A = this chain, B = another copy of it.
Amino acid sequence: MDAIPSLGYALLGLLQQKPSSGYDLRKIFSSTSMRTYSDSPGAIYPALQRLEKQGLIRGAIEQGSGLRRRQVFRLTSKGLAELKKWISSPVASENLVSGPQQVMLRFAFSEGVIGAAASLELLCSLEAALKTYLANLRAEYEALKTVAPTSGRLAFECGLRGTEALEKWTQYAIATYKQQFKKIRGGAR
């Protein structure tokens, strides 16, 4: 089985939340913070075809309400399994090189797919990966800061600060989940 690109997982995650047509998905990409993914038909329709060919989703034509036929896709059990596997695989520090976007996509879907307890596990794995990643960044910074021109040094500091902000967010998110669990366990229902 070939590796599924980022867009494919975004589609799987959205379809898990709610069965949708290609057009629905395009609207989500163009109107929400998922703008980072392409809303062009030339990207989405072929991607849906690939996922269907791999047996991860199944489309059903809906010819009811008089409009042009729409094809509504939903996850198959195989698709759900693939999504779970992707979301729950531990975060490696290499996953952070090209930004946290991919990991964040996994986390955003996690609660609905694998549950809050597993979301927390994902966060802990992210925190550990960040520790090694930040150590490398800081070492590189020490080597660079004496030789680079101001703009180069500042640009590097930008990456460093961004990653530090991500670390703080991770700790905040972990605390949020832990508190949530405490409330549920402690509070009467």
Interface residues of A (CB under 8 A from B): 32-33, 35-36, 97-101, 104-105, 107-112, 116, 119, 137, 140, 149-152, 154-159, 161-162, 164-166, 168-169, 173, 176-177, 180
Q: A158-B169, A162-B165 are in contact. Are A110 and B33 (CB under 8 A)?
A: no
- Counted per complex, copies of this chain come to 2
Bound Cα distance A108, B158 (Å): 10
Residues of B within 8 A of A97 (CB): 35-36
Residues of chain B within 8 A of A112, CB atoms compared: 149, 151
Residue in B33, B105, B154, B161 whose beta carbon sits within 8 Å of that of A165 in the complex: B161
Closest to A152 in B: B108
- Nearest chain B CB to A114 CB, angstrom units: 10
Contacts of A110 in B (CB 8 A): 151
Given contacts A150-B111, A151-B110, contact A162 B162 (CB under 8 A): yes
